Amino acid sequence: LPLGNALLLGVGGSGRQSLTRLAAYMEDYDVVQIEIAKGYGNNEWREDLKRVLKKAGVDGKDTVFLFTDTQIVQEGFLEDINNILNSGEVPNLIGNDDMEQISAAMRPIMMAAGLPVTKMGLYSTFINRVR
């Protein structure tokens, strides 16, 4: 589903993650779930988010980002998830190195669609693919 999101509620052990993984498998989506280890902080979180966004936007893979309540180590994680759900991006997440990679991947897609290739257009195409 374009712009599709789901929030599954239920008591522990009721199968929310299993159901999500089954649905993703049935639709041939990749499932990405972060692993929280000791010392996992904002830098690791931002790198994981970048990896997921690039997988969806640059690689064009339909992706399920599976995030549970036990993975909320810092409140900022929820703010970033909220930003992704609302706009498809996290402010100040994508650096210049990443923008070059994104631009290189989006340019042929835009040219094939007959769209004008501009810096803003490249980024907008990326965000639309992420969403």
pLDDT per residue as tens, the chain (131 positions):
567 788 888 888 888 899 999 999 999 999 999 999 899 999 999 999 999 999 988 998 999 999 888 888 899 999 999 998 888 889 989 888 889 999 999 999 999 988 889 989 999 999 988 88
Tokens of 22: 């089954």
Best CA proximity match to 45, nearest among 8, 6, 84, 99: 84
- pTM recorded for the entire structure: 0.85
Structure tokens at 9: 């509620």
